[in-house]
Amino acid sequence: MGATAARVVSRSDAPRGGGNRKEATNVTEDRTPAVAENPEGTGTDEEAAEQPIKARKNGLYDGVSDELAESMKSGWADTELHDLQPVEQASYTAARRAALSAAFPGERLVVPAGNLRTRANDTEYSFRAASEYVHLTGDQTQDAVLVLNPLAAGGHDAVLYLLPRSNRENGEFWLDGQGELWVGRRHSLTEAERLLGVPARDVREAVEELTAGTAVPTRLVRGYDAGLEGALGTDEERDEELRVFLSGLRLVKDAWEIEQLRAACDATVNGFTDVVRELDRAKATSERWIEGTFWRRARVEGNDVGYGTIAAAGPHATTLHWVRNDGDVRPGELLLLDAGVETSTLYTADVTRTLPINGTFTPLQRKIYDAVYEAQQAGIAAVKPGGRFRDFHDAAQRVLAEHLLAWGLLDPAVYDVAKVLELGLQRRWTLHGTGHMLGLDVHDCAHARREQYVDAELVPGMCLTVEPGLYFQLDDLTVPEEYRGIGVRIEDDILVTETGNENLSAALPRTSADVEAWMAALNG
């Protein structure tokens, strides 16, 4: 049976898709009114009787008999979980909330998790909670909202607004397409409090509670819950300041986060190994086999892939974000695989290797690959405490510029390395920056202030990618024909330590000789 076979439009005050939690009741296709949702099944029979139970929208049944409705209310075991322990990151999320509280005294701070989004008709995309929300709570629940309410004496009280258990009295748990019978058990509010260490309330009351009484200066993280944005009417500029702060708060990873990134990299190494073992099957099909092989590992060891896998064979390797993955995989060409496993806690790796599809580089492929490897080595060496974020980019670009001049692709009679870098001429073939922060987002901390990120000094606990590349387009008439259609990128995830750095993805070989030996061992 398909997962969406019984999707029923439900009352919009059970928030989904960004709708206002207090909008009018929707109806199903047979125009039977939707049921009211009641937290954790505590409603009385009289209350339930006032709300008609809707019929299935596929029309196979005319309606729900009173006898069936009554039968579905009872005979269910008590499944409340009483021995739950706090999530392992609970002490860290509390410290992050404390830092947020200190930055915005006297203001209410609202951080939504986000809502389900429609893919087509009555199917939705898989839900992934907002990174800001996950970082502050450790929770991944759709429709949830974290609120920090200011205290007169200073500081804040935190409260989590969550969707409670499905109601058995009015049939929501089995008639609503998002009820627990269809999509799985939710935690009760009491269970959530034990797990997350934050008082929990019914999210369907959030708008009413946040708009009642005396107005409180409020900031909201925008872009995740349109209904909440419309109801609170906060100032966009002030909201952006909150987003910027929360982005900067993630720049330095704590000990628990570093372990999540290690796990993400370890799983990613396994995914790359799987791909090499199945290259013969990819040759018989397409890049999709490679994408699917890596995705399988991501789902087994983590939550999902952390971003769209780039499985770019042959000339597709010159397209930076090739995610169609529908091309042929031909011996004699290169495969550029850029992929990362996202852990069950939503931290992602971001690793790239460029592999000879038949297991051996051609002389030209090796020359280009070795130049990129040398550039990456220079970049990684520049990642250390006290160094600037820009340093590893500049170091890698210098090496690539030197090779472009040595190969005659830039005229050494006209330009030296300094002039090439000043004019940015190498960028015709290097195209992108050499790295970015990494964490809950693949491009983590993207909204942080420039002086905190691009212009900042590196400190222990920062985690970033170093990923130089060279890309020679098929139609680039400025390079010899044999270069055209070759793209090479090497990317690793680098942790800044007290004494320098640690390559979290070092288990994957990087030199051309080591790559060939690794592939031969896996396929020998």
* pLDDT higher than threshold 80 for residue 47: no
Find the angle CA(497)-CA(503)-CA(505) to the nearest 5 degrees: 145
Q: Which pair of tokens denotes residue 26?
A: 């929707």
- Helix count and strand count (H, E) for the chain: 18, 17
pLDDT band for position 37 (50/70/90)? Answer: very low
Q: What is the pLDDT of residues 264-314, one digit of tens each?
A: 999 999 999 999 999 999 999 999 999 999 999 999 999 999 999 999 999
The pLDDT, as a whole number, for residue 43 is: 43
* pLDDT higher than threshold 70 for residue 444: yes
> Cα–chain-centroid distance for residue 371?
31
Q: What is the pLDDT of residues 458-473, one digit of tens each?
A: 999 999 999 999 999 9
Residue type, 313: A
Go through the chain and tell me how many residues it has: 524
Q: Which residues contact 513 (CB under 8 A, 6 or more apart)?
A: none
Please report the domains of the chain, with CATH numbers, ordered by start residue: 88-250 (3.40.350.10), 255-522 (3.90.230.10)
The pLDDT, as a whole number, for residue 35 is: 35
d(CA 262, CA 224): 29
The mean pLDDT of 117-125, rounded to a whole number, is: 94
Residue 105 burial class via C-beta count within 10 angstroms: exposed 0-12, middle 13-18, buried 19 and up = exposed
Q: How far is CA 412 from CA 244, 421, 484, 518, in A?
A: 44, 13, 21, 37
Tell me the percentage of the chain whose pLDDT exceeds 90. 85
Q: What is the pLDDT of residues 175-220, one digit of tens each?
A: 998 999 999 999 999 999 999 999 999 999 999 999 998 899 999 9
Bridge partners (DSSP) of residue 147 are: 110, 159
Tell me the percentage of the chain whose pLDDT exceeds 70. 89
172: left (phi over 0), alpha (psi -120 to 50) or beta: alpha
> Cα–chain-centroid distance for residue 466?
19
* pLDDT higher than threshold 90 for residue 14: no
Dihedral sign of CA atoms 199, 204, 205, 207 in order: positive
Segment among 41-50, 317-326, 343-352, 361-370 with least mean pLDDT: 41-50
Dihedral sign of CA atoms 448, 454, 457, 458 in order: positive
Q: What is the pLDDT of residues 341-372, one digit of tens each?
A: 999 999 999 999 999 999 999 999 999 999 99
Mean pLDDT of the chain: 91
β-pairing verdict for 218-220 and 108-112: parallel
User: Are 117 and 126 within 8 A, CB to CB?
Assistant: no
Q: What are phi and psi of 7, to 5 degrees?
A: -65, 125
Per residue, the 3-state secondary structure of 280-336, as one string, reads HHHHCCCHHHHHHHHHHHHHHHCCEECCCCEEEEHHHHHCCCCCCCCCCCCCCCEEE
d(CA 114, CA 120): 18
Segment among 69-83, 294-308, 397-411 with least mean pLDDT: 69-83
pLDDT band for position 57 (50/70/90)? Answer: low
Q: Which residues contact 270 (CB under 8 A, 6 or more apart)?
A: 297, 301
Interhelix angle 363-381/389-406, nearest 10 degrees? 150
pTM: 0.89
Residue type, 360: T
User: Are 195 and 87 within 8 A, CB to CB?
Assistant: yes
Helix (H, G, I), strand (E, B) or coil at 495: strand
